[in-house]
Amino acid sequence: MKTKAQSPVYAGVDISKDRLDVSLPGQGPSHYANSASGIGQLVKVLAGRTEPVRVICEPSGGYERALLEALWAAKIAVSLVNAARIRAFARAQGLLAKTDQIDATVLREFGELLQPEEISAPSPQRQRLAALVQRREQLVSLLLMEEQRLTQTRDQVVRKLGLTLVKELQKQVKQIEEMIAQQIDDDDTLKGQSERLQQVKGIGKVTASTLLAELPELGQLTRNEAGALAGVAPINRDSGTHRGRRTIRGGRIKVRRVLYMAATVAARFNPILKAFYQRLVAAGKPKKVALTAVMRKLVVLLNQLLKNPQFTLA
């Protein structure tokens, strides 16, 4: 019988489009289809163990979603770890080869040694919002590519076909934005959070919906955690008396992208952040560095707004 006092057993799961490679301690690698039946078999094996299990896996471009949902439904703990951390961990062990079986083992060993935090299941409302936001991003990307192609198109027949596609994509973008707005309005929590975020000058509906979908932890983080998850926390490069240039990396790229756009607006029109940006530039900071600092200040502010209902911008 499982008890809270028991230490978890870590299971490394390498996820690809068609297959799940699994590494459990004390046994050879096993494989399951990345399908409803294969995932069901894996969950049954993990749930049948006498000790609690913690699954360690990487984001895999969406191929991990069905597995995550099945694990959450079965009350099996799961941690999602950035792939760059896993590769660095493997290289630190002298593992230069990379196969699915090796990756599964490395994931398990990473979990056993570093014990990454468990990720909780998002609400169904937030999961749907995330799906809608992702679809909007895909449509906008297609639209931009098609508009770029049109600038280079000379054949009138091809150009006419391209214009028809552009109009259809614009129509779908509008439809998906209406669905996103409706999804937020139908949920009191999402609606309140969206309105709260938009109190900050520079944060519009698209930025607010993206943050709610891609950074659901917002409002529950420390200052450092907010910056790190958004990928705008400066990383030191110091050794001895040498002080290297601070850089940013990692984090959630979609969050960082919308924060960049919001920061460019805030640095011009938000009185507080504009003054902050200008002070940094006047002190000799490169404009890109100053804008990154605005991004970090912005995400910390947004986190504080959702964390503390009494916090005001006045």
Instruction: Give the start-to-end residue ranges of the domains of the chain.
Output: 9-114, 124-186, 207-307
- Asked if residue 15 lies in contact with residue 58, where contact means CB atoms within 8 angstroms, the answer is yes
Ranges in the chain, pLDDT < 70: 1-5, 233-251, 314
Please give the CATH topology (third level) of the domain spanning 9-114: Nucleotidyltransferase; domain 5 (3.30.420)
Distance CA 92, CA 84 (A): 12
Task: Tell if the pTM clears 0.85, that is, is over it.
Answer: no
- Asked if residue 47 lies in contact with residue 146, where contact means CB atoms within 8 angstroms, the answer is no
Distance CA 11, CA 110 (A): 10
Model pLDDT, residue 234? 53
User: CB neighbours (10 Å) of residue 64?
Assistant: 20
Distance CA 194, CA 119 (A): 23
Model pLDDT, residue 237? 45
